[in-house]
Amino acid sequence: MQTSAAKINLLDLDRQSLEVFFTQWGEKAFRASQVLQWVHQRGVDNFEAMSNISKALRTRLEEATEIRLPEVVMEQASRDGTRKWLIRVDGGNSVETVFIPEDDRGTLCISSQVGCTLNCSFCSTAQQGFNRNLSTAEIIGQLFVAYRALGDTPKGERRISNVVMMGMGEPLLNFDNVVKAMNIMIDDFAYGLSKRRVTLSTAGVVPAIDRLREVCHVSLAVSLHAPDDALREQLVPLNKKYPIAELMAACRRYLDGVPHRKITFEYVMLAGINDTPKHARELVKVLADIPAKVNLIPFNPFPNTSYTCSSPEVIKVFRDIVTRAGLVTVTRKTRGDDIDAACGQLVGRVMDRTRRSQRGAAAGARGLE
């Protein structure tokens, strides 16, 4: 028998990959759908329970493959009903996954990287540095873990109605693994979520946005946060490579030929930085010809940050300007901040290969001298 390290984790395989896997074994391709149903719809993580698969095939699967979930290290519950799981993905690293219940939906926020390669200045995750991409199994495993913890079943009682790739990391820099995981989310033999209910949030990796449209056209959210290149480069350094004009062109291409769809533009409200009426009017101009929804996000503080959140009055003035221009504009409720589960607060545990976290700590220490 092969050791666990040599076994194939079936959570890494979407239906297309499973079909290739089984046909290479000389099995019928429909075995893929059977396994997907057992694992993702029924939550089975052992082969003996798969009663419509022959004993011989179950034995072969037991010897060559496994269904290995990421390990839950800690679970926290917020006073507002938000739940957060700290999930160990290898010996020294962990990521965070958050469930946000609302009256009309339940949203699971999933991580795609250990840390983040980008260095957005207002995001706590970014300050932790970066270690590696998550595997498909580690990404879809977060949904599996949440389903099990919440008592969900894809064909029955379901508290998770929406999934957002908005946790730790930039999803489009882990393109293949993220797409496989989202394929499983929307597969009718797995979780059966609508493409409209799976949202990928990106800081604006333009070539990957074009690729995503071709292979997995889920809902798109763009972390914009500024209406001009000079300011956005301070907040989102990726803008130096893909400036706003290129990003907006990619957004228009993403929606081309798809009526009744909008892109959500996320805009964190930073006091005295990007929150003036002038910024609001410039934002309206940037989004003038794009079917858009604007999501204003009150800044959630974290240790050693110099930013503060715009006041409710300032946010209201900003929102009213954008709304009057005809753009659907929503101020996001801060959820789970008492357990550091709010937007921009996810940190997990990152063995930082970039040394960014060490440099940041050193700079902070010098500032206190």
309 is catalytic: no
Average pLDDT (314-330) is 97
Cα distance between residue 206 and residue 214, in whole Å: 13
- Out of 96, 138, 170, 266, which one is annotated catalytic? 96
- Out of 109, 123, 309, 343, which one is annotated catalytic? 343
DSSP classification of residue 309: B
* H helices present in the chain, as ranges: 15-24, 31-36, 55-64, 124-127, 136-150, 175-186, 206-215, 229-235, 244-255, 277-286, 312-324, 356-368
214 is catalytic: no
DSSP classification of residue 310: P
DSSP helix/strand/coil, 270: strand
Pairing of strands 71-77, 83-90: antiparallel
Q: In what order do the strands lie in the sheet with 219-223?
A: 71-77, 83-90, 93-101, 106-109, 162-165, 198-202, 219-223, 263-269, 292-298, 328-331
Residues 6 or more apart from 167 whose CB is under 8 A from it?
A: 95, 96, 97, 98, 109, 110, 111, 112, 142, 346
Question: What is the assigned CATH class of domain 4-66?
Answer: mainly alpha
**How does residue 117 score in pLDDT terms, banded at 50, 70 and 90?**
confident
* Contact assessment for residue 154 and residue 31, using Cβ atoms and an 8 Å cutoff: no
**How does residue 367 score in pLDDT terms, banded at 50, 70 and 90?**
very low
* Contact assessment for residue 214 and residue 205, using Cβ atoms and an 8 Å cutoff: no
What is the pTM assigned to this prediction?
0.90
Question: What is the assigned CATH class of domain 71-363?
Answer: alpha beta
For the chain, which residues make up each domain, given as ranges? Answer: 4-66, 71-363
Phi/psi at 146 (5° precision): -65, -40
**How does residue 272 score in pLDDT terms, banded at 50, 70 and 90?**
very high
Higher confidence at residue 362 or residue 118?
118
Place of tokens 């002038």: 278
pLDDT tens digits, 161-171: 999 999 999 99
pLDDT tens digits, 104-114: 889 999 999 99
**Residue 81 pLDDT greater than 80, yes or no:** yes
